[in-house]
Structure 1
């Protein structure tokens, strides 16, 4: 029984450390740029006027570097993901569910009991998620085949559909 508990703890720590190391390699370790990024987020949420820093800082240097981050991408709402970010997140979730199914399978073989039910739950979650991924891919493929963009007429100047009448009070 203690061997099983130790094995379970070791497996959980291995999964946690693997995800932690992978996350560390993807992130920047530059603390100054990270601080500036966090500060710019705080400045954007302040009630101060737009474009001006909320707090005036005094530095001994002749030039002051702005603490604002890069300009937001036009046409992209905050909190939305790019296609590559969504694909990476889906892959990570799939790997975590697959790892959980594998670990619970090993525990069900070694210990049995409640781990069999945990194995069944992990399998159901994995198969459900895989089914949702397949359905999402099928919908995207169907959308690509059905949606056709109309070409703009070449050589024709775009004319307004109507002219707004001027009122007598507009003069």
Structure 2
């Protein structure tokens, strides 16, 4: 049997997924079941768009539940106890600036399951994170990205 995929994430990220899973299983499922029940009351199901829409949503939600359950069950909580304080690793926040003179940018490197670039959380699988993990404070690094190499200087690691 193949080894199950692990999902690296912070403890906070796992808790958020567990909360989302609970919401989907309890309230969202109940809402959809109610919508299906109401739509069935409209008669002929073959031309009932409300029924079709509710069934499609039910399918989507059940798929999402299955995906989140997989992530939660195979979560690998990030532990940076063995990592130097000035070394970049998953779970740490890094501030860097693109050379020669761009504005500093700050991101927290997280597992793909909790990535949210708009909140400053980038996936450990992203090109920038891959290029930064293992580097240290003060280092200048060339990061290969789809748009070409990006040269950065690491300003802060926490």
Normalised by the length of structure 2, the TM-score is 0.34
The structure with the greater share of residues assigned to strand is 2
Question: Which structure exhibits the higher relative contact order, with contacts defined as CA atoms closer than 8 Å and separated by 6 or more residues?
Answer: 2
Normalised by the length of structure 1, the TM-score is 0.32
